[in-house]
Amino acid sequence: MAAYMIAQIEVTDLDGYMKYASQTVACAEKFGGEFLVKGGACEWIEGTGADRNVIIRFESMDAAKTFYNSDEYQAILPIALANSNRTAVLVEGV
């Protein structure tokens, strides 16, 4: 069953954050990840949230966890955390 990493991000330092964002696609692809949403314009129709939204599809929850916990991703995650406020969730899907 597919799994998705869904993140909502409020970037606090764009230059710093781009050092992270520029590395995420190649990193996720190493673990079978496919970006379905990476930023882009959004319009909140219910509630409020962050201006930047990301959805990455993986073939399974195990693959998503392997990506997230990998040495490669953990090496760049501190850059994101230092330059944004964010939430992230792994969700099983179709």
Domains and CATH numbers, the chain: 3-92 (3.30.70.100)
Give yes or no for a contact between 39 and 84, defined as CB atoms under 8 angstroms apart. no
Which of 63-81 are b and which e, b meaning 16 or more Cβ less than 10 Å from the residue's Cβ? bbebbbeeeebeebeebbe
- Residue for token pair 């966890």: 65
Say what the pTM is.
Answer: 0.93
Quick: pLDDT tens for 40-69.
899 999 998 898 999 999 999 999 999 999
